[in-house]
Amino acid sequence: MRVLGQARLRQVLTAILAAFMLLAAMNLAKGAWLAAGLELTTVALLVAAYRLNERHRAMASAWLTLGSLLLMLLGLMVAGQGLYDEAFIAFPGLLLFASMFGSHRLSAALLAVMLAALAGLYGAHQLGFLPSVPHAIDASRPLALATILVATGIFVMVVKADQRHLLAQLDIEKHELMRSHARIEELAYRDMLTGLPNRTLALHRLDGLLAQAQRDQTLVGVMLLDLDHFKTINDGLGHARADALLRAVATRLRACVRPGDTVARLAGDEFAVLLGGVRDEQAFTTIANKLLAQFDQPFALDDMPVHTSCSLGIAIHPRDGGDGTTLLKHADLAMSQSKSAGRNTFRFFDEQMNASLAEQLQLSAGLRNALECGQLQLHYQPKIDLASGRITSAEALMRWHHPEQSWISPERFIPVAERAGMIEQLGNWALHQACTDLLRWQAQGLHGIRVAVNVSPLQFLRTDMAHTVTQVLRQHGVTATSIELEITESVLLGDTARLSQTLDRLHDLGVQVAIDDFGTGYSNLAYLQRLAVQHLKIDRSFTRDIAHEPQTCELVRAIIEMARCLGLRTVAEGVEDAPTQQLLQTLGCDVGQGFHWSAALPAQSFADFVRRHHSALQPALATAG
C-alpha cells in the first residue's frame, strides 16, 4: 500500500468521522436504531483507525478505514432500502479512498467486491429474501445524501490537491533535471575558470570545421597559444591573480576573432583558436599577428599592470593533417619552436619538426639503453694553471658512443634527457664515474687532480645536491676537495634561500663550485657576493675573439677584476692558441681550458697526457729555478 502521509490520512478520517457522526445522529433522531448502530460502530472503528494513524501506523489505519467503510455501507444497504439505499452513492468515494492509499490492484479488487455485492443484493431481491423498496422521501434523506456527497467531495478535493502537488513537484524536478543536464554539459565541455570550451568541446568543434572544410574546399587553422613565463606570474603574484590573468586573456582572445571561430582553454595557460572557412593562408598570419598584439598592453589585475606575452604555433588543414588530434599535435610542435625562437612570436608547422620529434623520441629510448649497457663515457679536458703551467683539474664531459651512430654530442642528448626526466640519472652516473676514474688515477700515482662535474639546473634545484654528493663521496672513499661542481647562471634564479643553503653545505664539505658560462645569462653580482662559489668560468664566446676585439678584451678584463674583488678564481674556456693564452695571463686570469692544450680525452688517455705534460714542464721549471 502506498503511504501518502499521516497528515493527509488525518484529514480524510476527520471528514469521514464527521459525516458518520452526523448520519448516526439523524438516524437516532428518527428511530432508525439498526442504521444508527451500524454507523456508531463504524465511528468507533474509525476512531481506532485515527489512533493508529497518530501512532505513525498509517498503512494499518488506512486498511482498517477501508474495511470498516465497506462493511458499514453494505450493512446499511441490507438493513435499509437495498438497491435503493442512499449508501450506494458512497461507493465512488470509497474507490477514491482506495486509489489514494492503495495500489491499482487493490482498487480493482474493491470494485469487484462492490459489483459482487450489488449482484448479491439484486439476487436476494429477486428471490424475495431482501426487499428493495424505496421509502417515502423526508427531510433526512437529502441531508444524508448531502453528507455523503460532502465526504466524497472532500475525497475528490484531496485527490485533486495531491495531483496538483504531484504535477508541481514533477515540474520542479523537470527543471532541476534540465539544470543538472546543463551543469553536466558545462562540466563536460566548458572550462570552469574562463567559461571557454575545454579540450573535449574544442575537438568536437574542430571535427565539425574539418567536415565543413572538405565540403567547401576551404582551410582550417589550429592555433595553440601558451603564455610566456606564466609560472613566474603564478608564483610571484599568487593563484588568484594568475586566474584573473587567464580570464582576462580569454576575454581579449574572444574579442579579436570572428563570431564563428572558437577560442578554447585546453589546460593551464594553454589556449587554442580554431579557424574555419579560410581560403587564403595569408589570413592565418594576419590573425596570428592580431593575437600577439593583444598582449602589447598590460593586463590590469587588482589595479596592478601585468605584462606578459605568448608563443603561438599554427597547423593548417589539409596541409598539416586531416584530423583534429594530428593538427593539435603539429600546432604544439610549432608552438615549441616559437618558444625556442625566443617567445613572443609564432611559427607554422613543417615536417622537419616531426622529424626532430622522432629523433628526440629515438634518442630518449636509446639513452635509457645507453645507461644500462655502458655506452656512456666521461672524457676529461685539462685545466691549466696559467701561472705555473701545471694541470690542476679537469672538466668531466659526457660522451655517448652509440653502436650505430658512433659518437653522439651532449648538445643533442642532454636536452633530451632533461625533457625525458632522465637528467638526474645521468648526473648521478657522472658523479659516480668521476669518482671511479679519480681513484684509478690515484692508484697509478696521479695525485692532486680535481675533477669538475657539470650539474644540470634541473638536478641542482630538484634534488638535495649536498646529500647526493655526500653519499657518492662516502661510497667511493674520495675526498671532497677532489670534486668540483659546475652550475650555470640560470641556477641563481631559483629559490635563493634553498640555493644558498645548498651551496653552504657543499662548501662545508670541501666541494668547490664554479659558475659556468659566466656572462651569457642573468649575471647577478649580488648573488655572487653572497653565495658560496669559488670559480667563475668565462664563456668561450668572449675568449674566442679576445685577441682581435678590444671591446671584448676590456669586458674580460672587467670580469677578471670583478672576480678578484669577490675572491673568486677565473677560468677561461675556449683557449685556442698561444696569443689568447698570453693575453689572458696578462689580464690576470687564473686558469685556462681549451684546444690549445688538449681536447677532452678518455680517462686513461687523460692520465697519460697529464704525465707527459708535467714531464715536459720539468726542464722549464728547473731552468726557472
Q: What pLDDT was estimated at residue 139? A: 59
Tens-digit pLDDT profile for residues 518-556: 766 555 566 677 788 899 999 888 888 888 888 889 999
For the ranges 28-32, 105-109, 138-142, 422-426, the lowest mean pLDDT is seen at 138-142
What DSSP element (H or E) covers 559?
Answer: helix 550-565
Give the SS3 label for residue 160: helix
Tens-digit pLDDT profile for residues 221-244: 999 999 988 887 887 788 888 999
Share of the chain above pLDDT 70, in %: 87
Strand 591-592 and strand 376-385: pairing? antiparallel
**What are phi and psi for residue 307, nearest 5 degrees?**
-95, 135
CATH number of 359-617: 3.20.20.450
Split at pLDDT 50, 70, 90, the class of 168 is: confident
C-alpha cell at 322: 586531416
Nearest to 270 by CA among 327, 196, 365: 196
Q: Tell me which architecture the domain covering 199-349 has in CATH.
A: 2-Layer Sandwich (3.30)
- Identify the bridge partners of residue 570 per DSSP, sorted by sequence position: 536
C-alpha cell at 589: 686570469
For CATH 3.20.20.450, the residue range(s) in the chain are 359-617
In angstroms, what is the C-alpha Rg of the chain?
47
Nearest to 221 by CA among 282, 290, 266: 282
Mean pLDDT of the chain: 84
C-alpha cell at 481: 676537495
Split at pLDDT 50, 70, 90, the class of 289 is: very high
Give dist(CA 383, CA 341) in Å, integer.
Answer: 34
Question: In this model, does residue 1 exceed pLDDT 70?
Answer: no
Cβ(313)–Cβ(224) under 8 Å?
Answer: yes
User: What does DSSP assign to residue 534?
Assistant: -
Helices (H), 341-478: 351-373, 410-419, 423-443, 457-462, 465-476
Cβ-proximal residues to 249 (8 Å cutoff; 6+ apart), any chain: 227, 271, 294, 299
Residue type, 264: A
Tens-digit pLDDT profile for residues 192-207: 899 899 998 999 999 9
Tens-digit pLDDT profile for residues 523-532: 556 667 778 8
Cα 559-560-565 angle, rounded to 5 deg? 95
Q: What pLDDT was estimated at residue 39? A: 77
Helices (H), 275-323: 282-293
C-alpha cell at 572: 677561461
Mean pLDDT of 575-602: 94
Question: In this model, does residue 290 exceed pLDDT 80?
Answer: yes
Does residue 247 or residue 490 have the better pLDDT?
247
Tallying the residues shown for the chain, one arrives at 625
For CATH 3.30.70.270, the residue range(s) in the chain are 199-349
DSSP codes, 166-191: HHHHHHHHHHHHHHHHHHHHHHHHB-
**What are phi and psi for residue 500, nearest 5 degrees?**
-60, -40
Cα 322-325-330 angle, rounded to 5 deg? 80
- Does the CA dihedral 554-556-560-565 come out positive or negative? positive
Give the SS3 label for residue 597: coil
DSSP codes, 16-83: HHHHHHHHHHHHHHTT-HHHHHHHHHHHHHHHHHHHHHHTT-HHHHHHHHHHHHHHHHHHHHHHTTGG
Give dist(CA 532, CA 92) in Å, integer.
Answer: 100
Strand 391-402 and strand 450-454: pairing? parallel
Give dist(CA 28, CA 23) in Å, integer.
Answer: 9
Question: In this model, does residue 512 exceed pLDDT 70?
Answer: yes
Q: Is the peptide bond before 318 cis (omega within 30 degrees of 0)?
A: yes
Tens-digit pLDDT profile for residues 439-478: 999 999 999 899 999 998 878 877 889 999 999 999 999 9
Question: In this model, does residue 408 exceed pLDDT 90?
Answer: no
Mean pLDDT of 303-320: 89
Work out the burial of residue 260: count CB atoms within 10 Å of its CB; fewer than 13 is exposed, 13-18 middle, 19 or more buried.
Answer: exposed
- Does the CA dihedral 509-510-516-518 come out positive or negative? positive
